[in-house]
Amino acid sequence: MQTLLLPDAVAVAAADVTPRTQPQPRCVSVSMARAPRRESDPKKRVVITGMGVVSVFGNDVGAFYDRLLAAESGAGHIDRFDATGFTTRFAAQILGFSSEGHIDSKSDRRLDDCQRYALVAARKALESAGLALGSRAMDKIDLERAGVVVGSGIGGVKEFAGGVESLTKGPSKISPFSVPLTIPNMASALVAIDAGIGFLGPNYSVSTACATSNHCLHSAADQIRLGRADIMLADGAEAAIAPVVLGGFAALGALSRRNADPGTASRPWDRDRDGFVIGEGAGVMESLEHAMRRGAPVLAEYLGGAASCDAHHVARPRPDGRGVSLCIKRSLEDAGVAPEEVNYVNANATSSPAGDLAELKALKQVFKDTSQIKMNATKNPDPAVEQFDTVRDAKQRHQVHVGISNSFGFGGQNSVVVFAPFRR
C-alpha cells in the first residue's frame, strides 16, 4: 500500500474542468501493487499551471465550470446565417464575444474567429498561470525555452469562405491575408507573434479533427519531457459554424436533427441519440522543476498520453474498438498507471450512435472492472453503459485518483491523455 495525497471531492458533470479554488488535500490509501513506474524527475514531470477558455458559456473558466455543473446546454438556433434549408439548424454558437484588452482593434477586424479565440484563450491561460503579459514573472521567462502548440480541425473557415466569394468578383479581389488566415497552423504562429508573448521555442500545429486539442496537450508535454522546453502553451481553437461546414456534416449524417429542442440534442450514451452538435471555442504546461522555481500555482499533473489510428474509415469508428483500446493502453503505459488506478473517464461520447458504442467496447477491453469508474451519461442510458458508474441527471462529488480524457477524430485518429491531482 502507498499513501497518496489527493484533493478532496471534485465535482463531475458534463465535462471535467479543474475548479477555481484548490481544495485541501486528504490522504487516501490506494493499492499500488500492479502500478508501473511513474516519472519522478522534476525536469520531466509535467504540471498544469494555467487555464483559459473561450466558449459558448463565456471566457471565464470558473463560470464555464459552474454552468457545466448546472447541466446547461449552449446549443441554440443558428442566427449568423440563414440555416432554413439545412436539415440541422442549430449549433453551440459563441455569442457576444469580445477580445477587448487582448487583441488590438486592427488585428481584431482582420483575423478569423478561430485565431481570435486562440489568442484570447492563450492570454487568459497565461494570466491564470501567474504570467500576465508585462508582469515581472513573464519578463523572467526564457523565451527560447517556451513554446506553443495550437491546433484546429478546420482552421479559418470564415476567411476561406470570404476568399471564395471574392473570387467570383475576380482574382484581384482576393485578400493577401486569405491564405495565411485560413491555414490551421496560423493560430499557433500568431500566439507566439503576439508582442506580449514572443515565445521562441517549439511552435507547430496539430489538426486531427475532434482529437486535435488532446493531441496538442500530448505534443506540448512531450516537448517538456524531451528537454526541449520548460513551459508550453497548449491550445485548441475552432470557429466552424459556417454554411459549408454545417452542410458537409449534415450530408455525412453526423449531426443531430433535434431542431425543435436543441438543448436536448447532445446526449451521449442515450438510447435516442442521433448525432453530435457543432460547437465553437488554452492551457499552460510546465516542467515541475520550472513551476516550483517560480512558485507557480499547480492545478493538476499530466501523467502521460498516446495516439493511435483505427485504420478503418474516414468517418465511422472501428466497430471492435481496437484502435481506441490500443490508445488507452498506451496512454496508461506512458503515464505509469495501472488500469485499476483509473476512476474517472472524460469520454469522447459525441452522441453518435456508432461512436459511443465503439468507445464503450474499447473501455471494457482495458478496464476489467468498470463499476468504480465514474463516467458522464444522460437520463436515458443505452443498456451497454449500465456497468459503468455514470453521472446522469445531477452533479456528483467524486474523489478523482487518476482520470483519462478521450478524444477521437474523423479518419480514426485517436488521442488519450492522463491526468491526476498533483502531489509532490
pLDDT in tens, 90-145: 999 999 899 999 999 999 999 999 999 999 999 999 999 999 999 999 999 999 99
Range of weakest confidence among 16-20, 109-113, 222-226: 16-20
Please tell me the distance from the alpha carbon of residue 88 to that of residue 246, in angstroms, as a whole number: 8
Provide the 10 A C-beta neighbour count for residue 312. Answer: 16
**φ, ψ (nearest 5 deg) of residue 127:** -60, -45
Do residues 360 and 406 touch, judged by C-beta distance below 8 A?
no
Of 12-26, 34-48, 222-236, 374-388, the least confident: 12-26
For residue 421, what pLDDT is reported?
Answer: 96
Which residue, among 245, 246, 239, has the nearest Cα to 77 in the 3D structure? Answer: 246
CB 148 within 8 A of CB 233: yes
Name the E strands within 52-133: 76-77, 90-91
Residues annotated as part of the active site: 210
* Cα 13 versus chain centre, distance: 15
In this predicted structure, what is the pLDDT of residue 396?
A: 83
Model-level pTM?
0.86
Q: How far apart are CA 39 and CA 224, in angstroms?
A: 13
| Residue 32 banded pLDDT, cuts 50, 70, 90 | very low
Query: What is the model's pLDDT at position 377?
Result: 60
Domain over 46-298 is classified CATH 3.40.47.10: yes
Spatial separation of the C-alpha atoms in residues 126 and 51, rounded to whole Å: 7
237-246, 264-273, 335-344, 351-360: segment of lowest average pLDDT: 264-273
Ranges assigned E (strand) in 269-322: 283-287, 300-309
Query: Angle of helix 157-167 relative to helix 243-252, nearest 10 degrees?
Result: 110
Residue 222 in this model has a pLDDT that exceeds 90: yes
Whether the CA torsion 280, 181, 188, 99 is positive or negative: it is: negative
Cell of 274: 442521433
Predicted local confidence at residue 35, as pLDDT: 54
User: What pLDDT is recorded for position 30?
Assistant: 39
CA–CA dist 128, 123 (Å, integer): 9
Domains 46-298 and 306-423 share a fold: yes
Beta strands in 237-287 (DSSP E): 283-287
CATH class of residue range 306-423: alpha beta
Whether 324 shows a pLDDT value over 70: the answer reads: yes
Domain ranges of the chain: 46-298, 306-423
Q: What is the pLDDT of residues 401-420, one digit of tens each?
A: 999 999 999 999 999 999 99
